[in-house]
């Protein structure tokens, strides 16, 4: 049974990673309703969490190819930068922010750290 579970996760993590990538693009570019939140910079936490999940899923998708880790991390960072540029240039209702890029990068690095900690034991 553990082999079946591992196989299901391995095969589905690629699909999950693609879904998360598309979801981040959609959520980043759609017009968001105004919501009053009294916590300053809470969106930075959301950015970090989203990109943590993105990087972890992509890393896990290619866990049998550890030489791709650097490429995956760099690709996730570039993806976050591209999304911020698109927000600033192609939408009238969203703005790009350098602090969002930093929050994205923090999430990616945390995803890499957690991934390395999990696979260090194996």
Query: What pLDDT digit, counting tens, does each position of 35-56 carry?
Result: 666 677 788 999 999 999 999 9
CB proximity list for 68: less than 8 A, separation 6 or greater: 62
Any domain includes 81: yes
Short-list 12, 117, 13, 5, CA closest to 57 = 13
| Contact between 110 and 49 (Cβ < 8 Å) | no
Identify the pLDDT of residue 6.
Answer: 58
Any domain includes 38: no
Identify the pLDDT of residue 119.
Answer: 84
Any domain includes 42: no
Give the residue numbers spanning the domain of 98.
2-29+48-120
Any domain includes 65: yes
Identify the pLDDT of residue 1.
Answer: 46
Percent above pLDDT 70 for the chain: 86
Domain total for the chain? 1
Any domain includes 39: no
Any domain includes 34: no
Identify the pLDDT of residue 31.
Answer: 85
CB proximity list for 62: less than 8 A, separation 6 or greater: 68, 72
pTM of the model: 0.86
Identify the pLDDT of residue 7.
Answer: 60
């Amino acid at each position: 049974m553990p082999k079946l579970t591992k196989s299901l996760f391995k095969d589905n993590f690629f699909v999950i990673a693609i879904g998360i990538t598309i979801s981040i693009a959609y959520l980043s570019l759609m017009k968001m309703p105004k919501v009053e939140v009294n916590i300053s910079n809470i969106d930075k936490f959301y950015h970090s969490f989203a990109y943590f999940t993105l990087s972890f899923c992509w890393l896990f998708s290619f866990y049998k190819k550890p030489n791709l880790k650097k490429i995956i991390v760099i690709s996730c960072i570039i993806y976050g930068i591209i999304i911020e540029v698109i927000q600033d240039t192609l939408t009238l209702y969203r703005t790009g922010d350098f602090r969002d890029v930093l929050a994205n990068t923090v999430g990616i690095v945390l995803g890499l750290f957690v991934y390395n900690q999990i696979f260090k034991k194996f």
